[in-house]
């Protein structure tokens, strides 16, 4: 495995009495494309959101670039600048144009000049085929376009890892493809990606590791060909039987 980027040790998460994540340990290497699959309510999203502490873990450690980001003394805002996140609901800022959505964070947080930030934003917009929408407001865009912009917004911060929280689940079926294509390109460019998804086809094709998270536990993981063709545990077998 390549150099480790994220190391999760004994991660626990409870909401009140409800235990959502039970003792999860995993390592994610640079350039890994990890798809996290499993039944709804199994803790997939919570796991992802713990990685940049949008959810506060109840226990355990998460090392990002060797720094324990669960340590209260760690400045999480600084680390989040290097962890891009894409949400199910896009969450573009509706009061800003597409370009402002893309450049606000790099200019404020990385002190880039407007010119520099815009140049990079245009470059990425070009890649996702939305260069001509820079001056539009998000509401003028389709769901698929909004999600592509949301991916670009995260990329504008030049993150080391991209976290995707069910990025295609809120999309109309005909728009899923355009978003997955962008993610596929990203994987090809060796971006480290952790993707919570229900798109088994995408996981099979693009991921180099697939993880099965059920009932708060990592049950099984493997490269996609093994994961899908020769599931070991009964739980994964029954899950795959339902979704494939």
Partner 1 sequence: MFQEFWQKFELNFIADNRWQYLTNGLAVTLRVTFFAVLMGLFLGFAVAMIRNAHEHTGRFKILNALCSLYLTVIRGTPVLVQLLLIYFAVFASVRVDKAFTAILAFGINSGAYQAEIFRSGIQSLPKGQFEAGRSLGFTYFQTMTTIIMPQAIRNVIPTLCNEFIVLLKETSVASYIALEDLTKGGDIIRSRTFDPFMPLMAVALIYLAIVMVLTYGVKKLEQRLAKASH
Footprint on this chain of partner 1 (rule: CB under 8 A): 52, 54, 77-78, 80-81, 83-85, 87, 89, 91-95, 104-105, 108-109, 137-140, 150, 153-154, 157
Buried b (16+ CB within 10 A) or exposed e, 105-136: bbbeeeebeeeebbebbeebbebbebeebbee
| Residue nearer to partner 1 on the CB measure, 25 or 89 | 89
Quote the tokens at residue 158: 């030049």
Shortest spacing between CB 116 and partner 1, in angstroms:
17
Q: How far is the CB of 224 from partner 1 (least distance, A)?
A: 27
Please, which residue, 37 or 149, has the CB nearer to partner 1?
149
**Nearer of residues 152 and 210 to partner 1, judged by Cβ:** 152
CB closer to partner 1, 18 vs 139: 139
Q: How far apart are CA 225 and CA 231, in angstroms?
A: 10
Q: How far is the CB of 233 from partner 1 (least distance, A)?
A: 33
What gap in Å lies between CA 36 and CA 167, rounded to an integer? 12
CB of 160 to partner 1, least distance (A): 12
């Amino acid at each position: 495995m390549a150099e480790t980027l994220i190391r999760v040790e004994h991660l626990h998460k409870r909401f009140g009495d409800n235990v959502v994540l039970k003792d999860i340990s995993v390592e994610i290497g640079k350039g890994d494309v990890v798809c996290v699959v499993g039944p709804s309510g199994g803790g997939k999203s919570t796991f992802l959101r713990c990685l940049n502490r949008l959810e506060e873990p109840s226990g355990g450690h998460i090392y990002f670039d060797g720094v324990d980001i669960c340590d209260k003394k760690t400045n999480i805002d600084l680390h989040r600048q290097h962890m891009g996140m894409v949400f199910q609901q896009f969450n573009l800022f509706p009061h800003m144009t597409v370009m402002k959505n893309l450049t606000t964070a790099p200019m404020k947080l990385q002190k880039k000049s407007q010119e520099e930030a815009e140049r990079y934003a245009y470059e990425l917009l070009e890649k996702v085929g939305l260069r001509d929408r820079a001056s539009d407001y998000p509401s003028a865009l389709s769901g698929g376009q909004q999600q592509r912009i949301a991916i670009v917004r995260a990329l504008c911060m030049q993150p080391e890892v991209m976290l995707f929280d069910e990025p295609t689940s809120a999309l109309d079926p005909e728009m899923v493809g355009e978003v997955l294509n962008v993610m596929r390109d990203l994987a090809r460019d060796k971006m480290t990606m952790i993707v919570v998804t229900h798109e088994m086809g995408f996981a099979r094709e693009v991921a180099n590791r697939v993880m099965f998270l059920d009932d708060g536990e990592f049950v099984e993981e493997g490269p996609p060909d093994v994961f899908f063709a020769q599931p070991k545990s009964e739980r994964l077998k029954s899950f795959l039987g339902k979704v494939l």
